[in-house]
């Protein structure tokens, strides 16, 4: 079986893409990336046996 890794870096405020509407107004899409649960917060939940992070992406648009 062949496995293809499609993962990529995604950072807070990273430029997304721009699009123009019919009137010429440009909208730029990006995202805010914040931890929902950090490694440090998850550690006591599993008696110090495991830790993980859950990251929350929030889509943002900025009109120009």
pLDDT digits 0-9 by tens, 8-60: 777 888 888 888 989 999 888 888 899 999 999 999 999 999 999 999 988 88
CA–CA distance from 34 to each of 14, 23, 37, 45 (Å)?
13, 34, 9, 20
What is the pLDDT confidence band of residue 62, given thresholds at 50, 70 and 90? low
* Rounded-to-integer distance, Cα 8 and Cα 10, Å: 6
What is the model's pLDDT at position 7?
A: 78
* Rounded-to-integer distance, Cα 13 and Cα 6, Å: 21
3 state SS for 26-60: EEEEEEEEEEEECHHHHHHHHCCCCCCCEEEEEEE
What is the model's pLDDT at position 57?
A: 86
């Amino acid at each position: 079986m062949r496995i293809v890794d499609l993962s990529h870096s995604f950072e807070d405020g990273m430029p997304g893409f721009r699009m123009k509407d019919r009137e010429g107004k440009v909208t730029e899409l990006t995202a805010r990336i914040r931890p929902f649960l950090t490694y440090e917060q998850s550690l006591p939940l599993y008696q110090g046996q495991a830790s993980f992070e859950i990251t929350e992406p929030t889509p943002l648009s900025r009109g120009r």
